[in-house]
Amino acid sequence: MQYVKLEDLVSYIGLETVYYPEDVQSRIYTAEIIRPGLQIAGYFDWFSFERVQVMGKSEMLYIKTLDEEVKRQRIDKFFSFPIPALIVANDMEVDDVIIHYAKKYKRPVLKSSEKTDKLVNVMINFLEEELAEETIIHGVCLEVFGIGVLIKGKSGIGKSETSLELINRGHRLVADDAVIVKKVDGGLKATCPELTQHLMEIRGIGILDIKHLFGVGSIRLEQFIEMVIELEEWDENKEYDRIGADEDFTEILGIKVPTVVVPVKPGRNISAIVEIAAKNYRQKLLGYNPLETYNKKFRNLAR
């Protein structure tokens, strides 16, 4: 089961440690966050203790109003559940009773100067990405005219060479050879493994550093994939789509991505075809479909 180490969250957000047990490895399995106001009020039915707990100004001020014995009972019961951590927002002072029972049950307690809502949003975004379902795809990912394009095909078909020409034309590289794809916000976000970031392998030349060769404007750290270009060797016996009537899709992590199959043979300018495919896709997003215009003209002529 996928998880995020608490120390990674602490490092990313820059949380201050109030109490952190040395012999405890706290792990987070869900991106959902809970503000345990009901629990502090004494209601522990349906307590989502597996989530990171965040207390803001209202929870901390409410705790101060409680009778000392009631406060101890509720905080004791709160920390008796195996929560990943308690984070106190708004730079609020942490009650000594909270620290006492956190130490009793060895539950991490952390602080942040951020406002509660902002802190929760940042945490959710970070955890959703870290916990997102992911896969690694052999191919090249680029941004072409603002469209995230994943170029796939058999080894040696010309993916990197086509991509290099696209970069030379002003488009931007995300990842070459190994593309990390995460399912985030209902879409597919592509990134590059740290080891090969900004690098591209071209047979006969070797490893190229795209950032140094073409400048920082030639690379992107991440990009949502909106279409797939599938390169394949030209097959004389295969009937290829000539008017754009066929709609192909590639399924990645359960999401169907529009796909254009491009046959490769000597003399074809594949990089130009990829550019046109991206432009055509963008036209369709804006509501214009050339096939529909063609069909309309054809019907008018047939009358």
pLDDT in tens, 151-168: 999 988 999 999 999 999
Query: From the candidates 152, 172, 177, 220, which is the catalytic residue?
Result: 177
pLDDT at 280 over 60: yes
Considering the chain, tell me which residue range(s) the CATH 3.40.50.300 domain(s) occupy: 133-294
The average pLDDT across 73-80 equals 97
287 is in an annotated binding site: no
180: Cα within 13 Å, side-chain hemisphere: 15
- 212 is annotated as an active-site residue: no
Q: What is residue 80's predicted lDDT score, i.e. its pLDDT? A: 97
Q: Which of 63-67, 96-100, 143-147, 284-288 is the least confident region?
A: 284-288
Determine the CATH number of domain 4-130.
3.40.1390.20
How would residue 294 be classed by pLDDT, with cut points 50, 70 and 90? low
Q: What is residue 186's predicted lDDT score, i.e. its pLDDT? A: 85
pLDDT at 21 over 90: yes
- 138 is annotated as an active-site residue: yes
How would residue 24 be classed by pLDDT, with cut points 50, 70 and 90? confident
158 is in an annotated binding site: yes
Query: From the candidates 35, 74, 152, 159, which is the catalytic residue?
Result: 159
160 is in an annotated binding site: yes
Query: From the candidates 138, 169, 268, 279, which is the catalytic residue?
Result: 138
- 159 is annotated as an active-site residue: yes
pLDDT at 58 over 70: yes
- 279 is annotated as an active-site residue: no
Higher-scoring residue by pLDDT: 156, 106? 106
Considering the chain, tell me which residue range(s) the CATH 3.40.1390.20 domain(s) occupy: 4-130
Determine the CATH number of domain 133-294.
3.40.50.300
37 is in an annotated binding site: no
